[in-house]
Homo-oligomer: A and B are copies of this chain.
Amino acid sequence: MSFSDLATQLADISRQCHTRGWALGTSGNFSAVVSRTPLRLAITSSGVDKGGLSPDQVLEIDEQGNAIRGSGRPSAEASIHLTVARARGAGAVLHTHSIWGTILSDAADGDGLAIEGYEMLKGLEGVETHEYREWLPILDNTQDWSAAAPQVEAVLAEHPKAHGFLIRGHGLYTWGQDLAQARRHLEILEFLFEVLGRKRGATWQR
């Protein structure tokens, strides 16, 4: 798919996520692979309103995260997108800040979140039965994601079956072979966060 088509699709996804409340303010960022060798991503510009994002606010970046097309500035989290695209062979990476993702990232005990026994899990690529346990690692938040890239790589290597990960107090990263699959994973994980959150929510205290 051309950069221009990917930019149009990323703009659509941005607006849909804003409508659902998963990318309010200027939060969230979304990318898709333009070429694999060398690695090039189409990625939403940093600091723009996702509710009104237009295709010309999508940049192309190289494998060092430098903008090579478009006028905005790539997000400081571009390195996470690049790391996921490389480590998972993902064709698209989506990052959201939802209410329930934020709450669960903060309230889960230990270094991950288990989701088990729901039919909805079968929408995750490679899952064939509801009798499945998805383990989403939770990483601590940082302001230097370039420096933290090896930590992201290590977590992905340690959990080869994970379909996403959470960053504490921050939100979700998920991905897929292409934008359609990544978006499916996003909707499924956000749905399951809400189910878990509403079941357990009332007993938590910050």
Contact = CB atoms under 8 A, between A and B. Distances in A.
Interface of A: 16, 21, 24-27, 49, 51, 97, 99, 102-103, 106-107, 117-120, 123, 128-130, 141, 143, 167, 169-171, 180, 183-185, 187-188, 190-191, 194-206
Contacts of A25: 120, 123, 184-185, 187-188, 191
A167 B107 CA distance: 29
7 contacts: A97-B120, A99-B195, A103-B195, A118-B170, A130-B169, A197-B198, A201-B202
A51 B183 CA distance: 11
Contact of A204 (B21, B123, B183, B199): B199
A204 B180 CA distance: 35
A190 to B, nearest CB: 7
A24 B104 CA distance: 20
Contacts of A190: 24
Contact of A198 (B99, B169, B195): B99
Nearest to A186: B25
B27 A120 contact: yes
A119 B27 CA distance: 9
Contacts of A27: 119-120, 123, 188, 191
Contacts of A118: 102, 169-170
Nearest to A180: B49
A94 to B, nearest CB: 13
Contacts of A103: 195, 198-199
Contacts of A102: 118, 120, 195
Given A25-B184, A107-B199, A167 B99 contact: no
B195 A199 contact: no
A99 B194 contact: yes
A199 B184 CA distance: 27
Given A102-B118, A130-B169, A199 B201 contact: yes
Contacts of A187: 24-25
